[in-house]
Structure 1
Amino acid sequence: MSFQFRFLFLLLLFLRYMMLTFITTQKAQKVEMKYLLVLCLLIFTDGSSAWRRFFRGRSKDGLGTPNLSRDHNLADDLWFQQELDHFDPTNTQTWHQRYFMNKQFYKPGGPVFIMIGGEGEASAKWMAEGQWIEYAKQFRALCFQLEHRFYGKSHPTQDLSIKNLIYLTSEQALADLAYFIEGMTHLHQISSGTKFIVFGGSYPGSLAAWMRMKYPHLVHGAVSSSGPLLAKIDFQEYYTVVEDALKTHSQACVDSIAAANKQFHAMLRHRIGQQDLSKLFKLCDPLDPAATKKNDISNLYETIASNFAEVVQYNKDNRDSSKTANITIDTICDVLVDEKQGIPIERLGAVNNLLLKANNETCLDYRYMKMIDELRNVSWKAEASEGGRQWFYQTCTEFGFFQTSTARPELFSEMFPVDFFVQQCTDVFGPRYNIHLLESSVERSNLLYGGLHIEVSNVVYVHGSIDPWHALGITKSSNPLTPAIYINGTAHCANMYPALPSDLPDLVKARQKVGAIIRDWLK
């Protein structure tokens, strides 16, 4: 029920109550007062949430955690003192960064493996299982995982205000890793000839490659999984890959989405259609010409498109932290091609409701300003502080990565072009954060790291064909010092999770190939 509707209903009830005070008994007045109090509570109670489980190509859980095969005594939280600003020697502020350690498999003289934390909370589960742990067993490695500054429990500042977020950059994160390596080397008396190998998936996959490039005297090799290396504002290729992934089920699946999009657009033009859409998609606030703004509609289109992006990006991976892990491309496409479930728009609504139910959500929140207000919250206790505000800041100041509808308007509409995302940067962080800042920031990132022309050695790039992020990564390489492994049929960071009997043969081979490359590095 929308706020406006609740308010109007309450007003009418209040007027009724005032009339009853003159024509009814005291008992009747008390009964009506009870109803009035209940409606007052409804005004301030809203079961919806402005925050989304999948935002800007990032799961609310970040990378996610491996699906553990058994119970483990998980690693304890450990803390390492870092400088707030590694590049200003006059700034002496420090803070404590969380990390985990596993020395169960370590043999003196063995290598040191570091898993790089990223745009979400680090998990001790990664210290127990995951493909990198299998490599650690094989090569008798000492293992560390370092949580990224400003994510999880690693809070360098009192809040997430803009004056503090200036210390949230990939450069500072890489410097954190460099000082961490030096600190652990001293603390654990690691010999000078020890080889350090870094691992990362998604944004940490980028950091892994950049770490080897920037600090080759500290890091001997890097496994970069699903890491986007090219900063780009209009990441229109993202939904091109999503469409191609859906086609692996059938062309009929894609055709159904396109047909539903046309019906959606037509229904938005009249009142009855808006009412039907509100019911079909279980919108938290019914579409209302008087209250629904253009940005609300754009956000609605983008949110529905994100349903498909989330399923595609994490298709059939072995994550434990995802409520939608059992919902795959096949699951949603089976619904979309099933004519027994109605016309295309009804099937699209069924997919939306399937995901709402899986996430224990009662309605779809599409209000633009609700989202903006949540992203503006600078408190560590805010829902967006689990990574949403931080990652959004990094996209607005370093990478872009805006997944627009530019390349696929017939499939997901043309309602969320690049301007829609740039406007969000301005609305959340202020007028300075505009297209001009974005252009210079993206240019700077590609200048710092080289984009797809990065000059580095001892890095292996691993990507899945279904993962939309592979479009900004290196999937082919003729350089034996920087091989690329492209896995057909797999999604985001699939090679990092624990193996399953159902894993595709190409995925099994990819894990084996990475192991062989690490062996060569350690010779």
Structure 2
Amino acid sequence: MSIRDSHKSALLHPHSRTSQLPIPAEFGPFFFDQTLDHLHTITTKFPQRYWVNPQNYHTNGPVILFNVGELDATGFDGLVIDSFLHDLAQDLNGIAVVIEHRYYGNSTPFPSLNLENLRFLNTYQALEDMANFIRTVKNHHTPNPIVSFPRINRFIFCQFPNINFTLPPAPRTPWIVYGVSYAGNLAAWMRKNYPEIVFAAIASSAPVQANVSFWQYREPILWYGPKRCIDAIISTVDQVDQILFGNDENAKKILYKKFGFEGEGDYSFANWISEPVDIWQNSTYSNSPFLDFCAIFDNSTTPTEYFDAYAGYVKTVESKSLSQADNAWGYQTCTEYGYWQHAAPKGHPSLVSRKLDIDGFQNYCHSIGINSLPNVTDINLRYGGWNVDLTHTIWVNGEWDPWRGLSVQSPNAPKKKSTADAPLVLIPQAVHGWVC
């Protein structure tokens, strides 16, 4: 089964500047003995993977904790030696830490992610993971890893496995939590819920306003994409929908074959052909796969030529296998966040087939055993949504980011004032997570 045949459009993949350098073993990975249920209904622990670079540390410097979010952290380990995270640690004389989110990569508590095993995957547990980590990181190299100082009885001093100096605990050591995309939400909410141990937060491209429907996701593409390319996409989608919404089943089979689709169902097909459009959010400072896609229309001038060029491109794109990470994130969107990136409503230009509708997303949730809508009301009430008001928090967004519509800098959000204590940074023409 391909990722496109499942819940691909609801996935929120943060762009991060991953290092191509091999990560020296001295930086990890290490494993933290994490509590599975912070409500203590069971006593099970699981190993949570992390990496640490202490080389830039000087006395009183901070620890900067980067949560990878809804992805396998393999490949993000290099952030501790070559990234914005590393540069920030260097500038602040701090320690750079990358931590893997529960249920992703090698921090998965169960070998299989069925509905029963996924019950401990939620925002509360993820935030408590980081709070527990900040409070209780121990030095695994000594028989007595926690050392107390008689004159400071209310503080306990802890260490990471690869440091040979005493690191005072929070709040003596300032902790800065940093995240991109969904993990940007977590960074902000760590500052909100644990101000006694989290000194500051950097929330990049954070869609803090949970919403079931998010058809506006592709609006920045419509507004800022090259006009010729956008016109070609809309033309092709219109031609596709004429067939999908028609009664000619043979024409539909021919359509599937032309685009190289071997799955079943119009919703899955609509998901399949949306892939080239949604790579917009993967644009970086130096590379735009979306513009690479748009180049296929350079020699096309008619609707038929647009259609053929689009189909040829999609047919050659390699399908990805559905991973456990996709299952986990699908579960999170079904239970808490929504973020369902369906087609625009009728009467509004759509860059994807209108068969990519909200019912298809809900059917996916039903298929994994979740029959209720995502509890976005609870998430927004608990953590503030657009109305979250924090100090010591830097909000960073890209002007062209498709996720900006759910961020505190959304044009639809209540107007926030940028202050020295909580600056709002909007990067012109930037897309998703460019602060990395």
Instruction: Give the whole-Å Cα distance in 2 for the aligned partners of 1:477 and 1:51.
Output: 37
Match of 1:394 among 307, 332, 336: 332
Counterpart of 2:261 in structure 1 is 283
Counterpart of 1:344 in structure 2 is 306
Instruction: Give the whole-Å Cα distance in 2 for the aligned partners of 1:266 and 1:161.
Output: 38
Q: Is the 8 A contact 1:65 1:125 kept in 2?
A: no
Counterpart of 1:288 in structure 2 is none
Instruction: Give the whole-Å Cα distance in 2 for the aligned partners of 1:55 and 1:274.
Output: 22
SS, match of residue 478 in structure 1: coil
Tell whether 2:187 aligns with 1:208. yes
Counterpart of 1:186 in structure 2 is 158
CA 1:171–1:317: 2 relative to 1, 3 Å: farther
- Quote how far apart the aligned CAs of 1:214 are: 0.4
Aligned residue pairs: how many? 395
Counterpart of 1:80 in structure 2 is 32
Instruction: Report sequence identity in percent.
Output: 27
- Quote how far apart the aligned CAs of 1:221 are: 0.5
SS, match of residue 394 in structure 2: strand
Tell whether 2:285 aligns with 1:313. no
CA 1:454–1:337: 2 relative to 1, 3 Å: same
SS, match of residue 48 in structure 2: strand
Counterpart of 1:517 in structure 2 is none
Match of 2:64 among 113, 137, 142: 113
Amino acid at match of 2:387: H
CA 1:483–1:121: 2 relative to 1, 3 Å: same
- Quote how far apart the aligned CAs of 1:317 are: 4.6
Instruction: Give the whole-Å Cα distance in 1 for the aligned partners of 2:426 and 2:184.
Output: 15
- Quote how far apart the aligned CAs of 1:266 are: 3.0
Instruction: Give the whole-Å Cα distance in 2 for the aligned partners of 1:404 and 1:479.
Output: 32
Instruction: Provide the TM-score with structure 1 as the length reference.
Output: 0.70
Amino acid at match of 1:352: V
Amino acid at match of 2:297: L
The 5-angstrom pairing of residues 321-400 of structure 1 reads 328-339=289-300, 343-353=305-315, 356=317, 359=318, 361=319, 384-400=322-338
Counterpart of 2:365 in structure 1 is 425
SS, match of residue 177 in structure 1: helix
CA 1:442–1:275: 2 relative to 1, 3 Å: closer
Counterpart of 2:270 in structure 1 is 301
Stretches of structure 1 lacking an aligned partner (at least 5 in a row): 1-48, 286-291, 319-325, 366-382, 497-523
- Give the stretch that moved more between structures: 177-186 or 258-267: 258-267
Counterpart of 2:154 in structure 1 is none
Q: Is the 8 A contact 1:313 1:492 kept in 2?
A: yes
Q: Is the 8 A contact 2:46 2:109 kept in 1?
A: yes
Tell whether 2:431 aligns with 1:459. no
SS, match of residue 272 in structure 2: helix
SS, match of residue 368 in structure 2: helix
1:131-171, CA deviations, whole angstroms, 9 ceiling, x for partnerless residues?
11111111111121111111110122343122221100111
SS, match of residue 482 in structure 1: coil
SS, match of residue 56 in structure 1: helix
Instruction: Give the whole-Å Cα distance in 2 for the aligned partners of 1:231 and 1:460.
Output: 20
Instruction: Give the whole-Å Cα distance in 2 for the aligned partners of 1:442 and 1:267.
Output: 35
Match of 1:175 among 128, 139, 150: 128
CA 1:416–1:495: 2 relative to 1, 3 Å: same
- Quote how far apart the aligned CAs of 1:245 are: 3.2
SS, match of residue 310 in structure 2: helix
SS, match of residue 412 in structure 1: coil
Amino acid at match of 1:167: F
Instruction: Give the whole-Å Cα distance in 1 for the aligned partners of 2:312 and 2:232.
Output: 13
CA 1:451–1:271: 2 relative to 1, 3 Å: closer
Q: Is the 8 A contact 2:23 2:77 kept in 1?
A: no
- Quote how far apart the aligned CAs of 1:55 are: 1.7
Tell whether 2:197 aligns with 1:197. no
Stretches of structure 2 lacking an aligned partner (at least 5 in a row): 138-156, 161-165, 410-414
CA 1:178–1:72: 2 relative to 1, 3 Å: closer
Counterpart of 1:508 in structure 2 is none
Amino acid at match of 2:395: Y
Instruction: Give the whole-Å Cα distance in 2 for the aligned partners of 1:117 and 1:445.
Output: 20
Instruction: Provide the TM-score with structure 2 as the length reference.
Output: 0.84
SS, match of residue 434 in structure 1: coil
Indicate the structure with greater helix content: 1
Amino acid at match of 1:428: I
Larger Rg: 1
- Give the stretch that moved more between structures: 150-159 or 465-474: 150-159
The alignment's C-alpha RMSD in Å is 2.5
Counterpart of 1:257 in structure 2 is 233
Match of 2:416 among 457, 477, 480: 477
CA 1:275–1:156: 2 relative to 1, 3 Å: closer
SS, match of residue 166 in structure 1: helix
Q: Is the 8 A contact 1:213 1:456 kept in 2?
A: yes
Q: Which runs of at least 4 in structure 1 moved beyond 4 Å after TM superposition?
A: 69-72
CA 1:412–1:65: 2 relative to 1, 3 Å: closer
Amino acid at match of 2:340: F
- Quote how far apart the aligned CAs of 1:327 are: 5.3
Instruction: Give the whole-Å Cα distance in 1 for the aligned partners of 2:400 and 2:312.
Output: 23
Q: Is the 8 A contact 1:256 1:337 kept in 2?
A: no
Tell whether 2:140 aligns with 1:163. no
Q: Is the 8 A contact 1:335 1:347 kept in 2?
A: yes
Instruction: Give the whole-Å Cα distance in 2 for the aligned partners of 1:411 and 1:395.
Output: 22
- Quote how far apart the aligned CAs of 1:116 are: 1.2
CA 1:328–1:241: 2 relative to 1, 3 Å: same
1:296-353, CA deviations, whole angstroms, 9 ceiling, x for partnerless residues?
112211321232012x1112356xxxxxxx5533222232353269522112213324
